[in-house]
Structure 1
């Protein structure tokens, strides 16, 4: 079976999107940030099993890809807050669809 140019472009685009949201914690971090700006320790509390290194890696990766803003406030101690950029907010409809899918077909759903 041959793949059309359009299908091939679809696969390339999906691969590129997955490169940005790769990793175990990425989707959950995006979900938290879709609710509003968060501080590092706030996110750690909501993501019970995430290590400091894993969360730091995800946040740096998202910052490098322009998905989140990192804002430093000159308080004592320094306060750092993370929020979604326009690029990050553009992912919110995908998160909503994932929620719907999870509610419908997830492990605790009776709709199977």
Structure 2
């Protein structure tokens, strides 16, 4: 007599298409724990890197630049707080902010080049 486990096909955690078959060792509690951890990390990311709504003129390159600018401002705030509380030196804070500024300028130039290339089509 065949056991029930040997004849049954694997079940899917994320859908019926078979892309993500669940392993038999995953229990509902473990799946719920993974979901809670994922929710926690998502909420933590939202807390650490908040995003404000963009109300300016809508162009894809403006939206991308705004996201880059918000990330720059958030990181400068963290660096400033670390320096204020004595965790990093003023020179280290300056160097980190200078690096971030160069990254923002480079990203803006790349966006401008992409925008020009898209307009030529």
**How high is the TM-score relative to the length of structure 1?**
0.28
Which of 1 and 2 has higher RCO (CA within 8 Å, sep 6+)?
1
Please identify which structure carries the higher helix content: 2
Please identify which structure carries the higher strand content: 1
**How high is the TM-score relative to the length of structure 2?**
0.27
